Structure 1
Amino acid sequence: MKQFRHLRSQSTDDIRQVSSTCEPGSGSSVPCESSDSYRWRRIFAVGATTMGAGGISRIANLLVLPFVARALEKGEFGLWLNLTTTFTLLSALDFGVGPAVMGQVSEARGRDAVCAVRRVVTTALALLSGVALLLLAISGILSLTLPWNDLLGVGHEVPATNVDLLVFAAGATAALSLPLGIANRVYYARQRGHVVALSTAFGVLAQAAGLVGVAALAPDLRWFSAVYLATSLLAGVTTTLLLARSVREFRPRLRDVDRSTCGRLGREGVQLFLLTVIGIVAYKSDAFVVGHYLGANRVAEYVLPFTVYAPVLTAAEGFLTPLWATYREAWARGDHAWVRRAFLRSVVLSAAVGVVAASVLALITPWLLRLWIGDGAVVPSRGLLVALGGYVVVMCVSAAVGVFLNGAGALRPQMIAGGLMAVLNVMASIWSVGHLGLAGPLWATVATQTLVVLVPCMLVARRRLTRPRAIARGMLRTVG
C-alpha cells in the first residue's frame, strides 16, 4: 500500500516512465514510452500544436499591427517595431544552453536517472540566471550611456528619457526570459512539447488582447511596450509553474548545482550556439547579396516569394524538433532499431513534403503575392520559383538529418561542414547573382548545402547508425 500511494503521488509522466518496460500483452492500460505508437503520437501531437501556435501567432500579429500603427506616430511606430524585433532576437539568445538541456534531460530520462535530470535542470537554471543578471547590468549601463535616439533614428520625435527607459525594459525582459525558457526545453525532453505550444498560444492571444485594449483606451508608446514585454514572459512563467507543480522530482535544489554538469552544458551549448550563428550567416545573407549587387529595389522581388515558401520549412521543423529529444531518449534506452526506423521515415517524409509543397507553391505563389501585396506585386520568374522549390526540398531533408545528428550528439561534424558551407555559399552567391540573377544565390545555397553539408552528414549519420553501442557509451559519459 505504501508503494501504491507513492506511485499515485507521482505525475502521470513518471507513472508512464515506471511502466516503460512493460511488454506487449501484459494487460497494462498505461502506454509504454518505448513503444512506436506512443512515441509517434507524441511527436505528431507536439508538431501539430506547434504549427497551430505558430499560425495563431502570425495571424495575431497581422491583425494587431494595424491597431498599433494607427495609434502611434510614424517615428514611435518605427521605434516600437525596432524594439520588439530586437527583443525577439535577444530572448532567443540562450547561448545554446536551452537545446543542451533538452538533449541531456532526454538522455537522463532514457536511463531513468531522476537525479541526473535534477542536476541538469538546477545547473542550467543557475547558469542562465547568472547570464540574466549580467545582461540586466549591461542593459542598464548601455541604456544610460549610449545616444539611443540617434542610434535608432528617432531624433526628437520621442523624448530621450522614454527611449532610454524602453531600451532598458526590452533588455531586462529579454534577460528574464532566459531562465524561464528552461521549463520549455524540459517539456520537449519529456515529449510534452504541446504544453509549450498551448502556453505560447495563450500568451500570444493575451498579448494581442492587451495591445488592442491599449490602442482603444490609452494609446501611448510606453503602455504598448509594457503590455508587449509583460505578456512575452507569460508563456515562460506558465510552463515554469506547471512543471514545478506537476513534476516535483525535477524541482531545482541549490545543492544539485554541479560543476561537471555545468561544463557539459557549456560545451554542448557553445557548439549548438555556433551552429545557430553559422546558419544565420549561411542562410540569411542572400538578401544582402541581392541588394548589394542588383540594387535595393530588387530585394523585395527576392524576399517576398521566399517568405511564401518559408512556412514549409517552419512546419517541417515543428514536426522534426520533437524527434531530437526522442532520438536521444530512445538511444539511451538502447532502442536502436526504433532510431533507425525513425531516421529513415523522417528523411523520406521530409523529402516528400518538400517536393509536394514546392510543386503546389510554384503554381499558386503568383496568385498569393497579388492577393497579399496587390496588383503591383512583381510576379516571380519561373527560374526563381524552381530555385525556391529546390531550396525547400534540400533544406527539409537537411533538417531531418541535422535533427538526427543533434540527437546522436554529432555536433562537431556539423560545425565543420556548416562553417565551410557558409564561406563557400557567400562566395558562390556573389558569383552566381551576376550570372543567374535573383535565382543565383538560391542555386548557390542548394549546391553548397547538398555537396558540403547534406552528403557528408548523411555519411556521418550512416556511420552512427552502424555503431550504436559506441555512441550510447559516449552519451552515458555525457550525463553520467
Structure 2
Amino acid sequence: MQKIQTDILWLFGAKGTLLLANFVVISITLDLLSTKIYGVWITLYTTISWLSFFDLGLGNGMRNLFAVNRAIGNQEKNKQLVSTSYIIVLGIALILLIVGLPFVYYADIARFFNISDIAIPDLRCVLSLLVVVTSLQLITKLINSIFLADQKPALSSLIDCSGVVCSLLLLFILKDRLVGSLFNLSLIITLPTFIISFIVTLFAFNKNYRKLKPSLKCFNLKISNKLINLGLRFFLIQLSALIILQGSNIIILKFIGAEEVSVFSLVYKYFNVIVTIFTLVLTPYWSFFTDSYAKNNYNQLKQGFKQLLISWLAISMVGVVMWIALPFSFKIWLNQELDIPAYLPVSLLLFSIFSNLGSVFIYFLNGTSSYLNFQLAIVLAFAALLYPLSAYLLPTYGVLGVVFTMFFANSYGVLFAPYLSYKVLKRMKSN
C-alpha cells in the first residue's frame, strides 16, 4: 500500500504538469485558430486518436498477463509475451497505414464532418500526419503497458508529460509563425510525444528491461492466442467507451456546428480535470488488483476499495469548487468571453463525478479480468444507442441532449459493475 501512495504522489507531479501544460496549449491554440477551426481541429484530432485503440486491446491484455507472470515469478513467459505483443502490434500498425492513408486521400473529408463551408488549407496533410503518428505510436506506447504492469506508473506518465511540455515550449518559441497554420500546429502537438516514447523504448530495452527485449524467435503462438482473446475483449470495451465519451464532438459538429463543439469541448475539458485527477489515483490500482487477485489476497483488495471510495468523495468535492469558480477560471484560462449555457457546466460536472464512481469498479473488474464478456455486451449495446438517441434528443434539448445520452451510455459502471465486483470479492472470501 505504501508503494501505491508513493506512485500516486509521482503521478500527481507528472500528470499535474501534463494537465497544466495541456490547458496552456489549448489557450495558445485558440489564439492561433478561429473558434470554428479549433472546433474542427479538436474533432479531427479526437477522431484520428481513435486509431490508438486499434492495438486490439493488446496493451491492456499484455498488462494483465505480464502482472500475473510477475506475481508468480515467471520471467521467461514475460519475455515471450512482450515479443509476441510487439510483433502483432507492428503488423496492426502497418495495416492501419496501408488502409488509412488512401482513405484520407480519396474520402470526402469536408462532407463527412460537415465542414464544407470552412476553408482549411492542407486538411488532407493534417489528417495524413495524424494517421501516421497515431499508427506508429501503437508500437512505441507498448512500453507504457510494461511500466504499468511492472507497477511503475509514474514512468508511463512521464512520457506523455515530457511530450506535451516539449510541444508547449515549441508553441511559445514558434507562436508567431503558426497563426492560421493547422498543419504546422499539428506537427508541434503530435510529434514530440511520439519521439520521446520511441527514445524511451530503445533505452528501456537496452537497460532495465534488456532481458525482455523483443525478439522474433520468442514469438509464441499459444501466447498470441491467449493475448488476442483477452485483448479483443478489452479493445471492444474501450472502443465502445471511446464512442460514448468522445463521439459527442462528432455528433454536435454534424448536427449543430463547430462553435458549439468548441464550447462543449472546453467545458468538458475543464471538468475532465477531476476525471484526470481520479485517474491518477486509480492508475496504480489496476495492476495492484491484478497482483492481489493472483495471490488471492482478499483483505488487501477490500482495503484498496475503501481507499478509492474515500478518494472519489474528496475529488467530487473538488469538482463542486471548480463549478463555483468556473466563470473566474475561464476568464484567466482563455482570456476571452464565451457564451456558456448555465446547464452545461453542472451537467458535465455531474457526468464526471458519475464516471469516476463507475471507474472504481470497472478498474477492479478489468484488473482481475472478471466478467469481461458481460461488460462487453452491455457497453456495445449502449454505444450502439448513442447516435440514434442523440439524434432524437438534439432537436428538443440541443447539446444537453448529448449529455443525457452520455449519462445513459456510461451507466454500466454505476448500475452493473458494483454488483459484479461484489460477486468477485464474495467468491474470493469464500475461498
Matched, 1:41 2:14: no
Distance 2:322 2:30 in 1: 27
Deviations, residues 297-323 of structure 1 (Å, cap 9, x unaligned): 866665554343221112212321221
- Which one of 231, 241, 262 corresponds to residue 192 of structure 2? 231
Does the 8 Å CA contact 1:132/1:175 hold for their aligned counterparts?
A: yes
Deviation at 1:463, TM superposition (A): 0.8
Structure 1 residues 430, 228: closer, same or farther in 2, change over 3 A? Answer: closer
Gap regions ≥5 residues in structure 1: 1-35, 472-480
TM-score when scaled to structure 1? Answer: 0.74
Matched, 1:261 2:251: no
Q: Could you say which residue in structure 2 is the equivalent of 1:107?
A: 68
Distance 2:415 2:384 in 1: 17
Structure 1 residues 461, 57: closer, same or farther in 2, change over 3 A? Answer: same
Deviation at 1:253, TM superposition (A): 2.2
Please show how residues 421-460 of structure 1 align to structure 2 within 5 Å: 421-422=382-383, 439=400, 442=403, 445-446=406-407, 449-450=410-411, 453-460=413-420
Does the 8 Å CA contact 2:7/2:152 hold for their aligned counterparts?
A: yes
Deviation at 1:69, TM superposition (A): 4.9
Q: Partner amino acid for 2:98?
A: A
Deviation at 1:335, TM superposition (A): 2.7
Does the 8 Å CA contact 1:100/1:268 hold for their aligned counterparts?
A: yes
Structure 1 residues 53, 361: closer, same or farther in 2, change over 3 A? Answer: closer
Matched, 1:461 2:421: yes
Structure 1 residues 122, 291: closer, same or farther in 2, change over 3 A? Answer: closer
Distance 1:297 1:226 in 2: 24
Q: Could you say which residue in structure 2 is the equivalent of 1:177?
A: 137
Does the 8 Å CA contact 1:108/1:329 hold for their aligned counterparts?
A: no
Q: Could you say which residue in structure 2 is the equivalent of 1:407?
A: 367
Q: Could you say which residue in structure 2 is the equivalent of 1:96?
A: 57
Deviation at 1:93, TM superposition (A): 3.8
Structure 1 residues 461, 293: closer, same or farther in 2, change over 3 A? Answer: same
Deviations, residues 387-416 of structure 1 (Å, cap 9, x unaligned): 444323221110111111100102222222
Does the 8 Å CA contact 1:108/1:114 hold for their aligned counterparts?
A: yes
Q: Could you say which residue in structure 2 is the equivalent of 1:19?
A: none
Q: Could you say which residue in structure 1 is the equivalent of 2:270?
A: 308
SS in 2 for 1:246: coil
- Which one of 150, 167, 170 corresponds to residue 190 of structure 1? 150
Q: Could you say which residue in structure 2 is the equivalent of 1:201?
A: 161
Deviations, residues 179-217 of structure 1 (Å, cap 9, x unaligned): 111111101111212122223222223333445555568
Distance 1:421 1:88 in 2: 21
Does the 8 Å CA contact 1:79/1:154 hold for their aligned counterparts?
A: no
Deviation at 1:98, TM superposition (A): 1.4
Deviation at 1:165, TM superposition (A): 5.8
Deviation at 1:377, TM superposition (A): 3.3
Distance 2:151 2:54 in 1: 23
Distance 1:272 1:142 in 2: 26
Deviation at 1:89, TM superposition (A): 3.9
Does the 8 Å CA contact 1:123/1:258 hold for their aligned counterparts?
A: yes
- Which one of 255, 277, 285 corresponds to residue 239 of structure 2? 277
Q: Could you say which residue in structure 1 is the equivalent of 2:213?
A: 251
Deviation at 1:142, TM superposition (A): 4.1
Does the 8 Å CA contact 1:282/1:423 hold for their aligned counterparts?
A: no
Distance 2:109 2:392 in 1: 38
Does the 8 Å CA contact 1:47/1:322 hold for their aligned counterparts?
A: no
Q: Partner amino acid for 1:208?
A: L
Structure 1 residues 46, 156: closer, same or farther in 2, change over 3 A? Answer: closer
Q: Could you say which residue in structure 2 is the equivalent of 1:134?
A: 95
Q: Partner amino acid for 2:325?
A: I
Q: Partner amino acid for 2:297?
A: D
- Which one of 313, 318, 321 corresponds to residue 283 of structure 2? 321
Does the 8 Å CA contact 1:401/1:461 hold for their aligned counterparts?
A: yes
Matched, 1:53 2:18: yes
Structure 1 residues 348, 413: closer, same or farther in 2, change over 3 A? Answer: farther
Deviations, residues 339-380 of structure 1 (Å, cap 9, x unaligned): 1210232133213422x0342133222433455567853354
Distance 2:124 2:270 in 1: 36
- Which one of 125, 128, 132 corresponds to residue 86 of structure 2? 125
Distance 1:446 1:150 in 2: 29
Structure 1 residues 47, 407: closer, same or farther in 2, change over 3 A? Answer: farther
* Cα RMSD (Å): 4.1
Deviation at 1:109, TM superposition (A): 0.9
Structure 1 residues 376, 181: closer, same or farther in 2, change over 3 A? Answer: closer
Does the 8 Å CA contact 1:149/1:156 hold for their aligned counterparts?
A: no
Q: Could you say which residue in structure 2 is the equivalent of 1:7?
A: none
Q: Determine what percentage of the aligned residue pairs are the same residue.
A: 17
Structure 1 residues 416, 372: closer, same or farther in 2, change over 3 A? Answer: same
Structure of greater relative contact order (alpha carbons < 8 Å, 6+ residues apart)? 2
Q: Partner amino acid for 1:99?
A: N
Deviation larger for 125-134 or 89-98: 89-98
Distance 2:410 2:10 in 1: 30
Matched, 1:240 2:201: yes
Structure 1 residues 289, 470: closer, same or farther in 2, change over 3 A? Answer: farther
Does the 8 Å CA contact 2:236/2:380 hold for their aligned counterparts?
A: no
Distance 2:78 2:129 in 1: 33
Structure 1 residues 291, 164: closer, same or farther in 2, change over 3 A? Answer: closer
Structure 1 residues 377, 156: closer, same or farther in 2, change over 3 A? Answer: closer
Distance 1:287 1:196 in 2: 28
Select the structure of larger CA radius of gyration: 1
SS in 2 for 1:409: coil
Deviation at 1:457, TM superposition (A): 1.3
TM-score when scaled to structure 2? Answer: 0.81
Structure 1 residues 414, 60: closer, same or farther in 2, change over 3 A? Answer: same
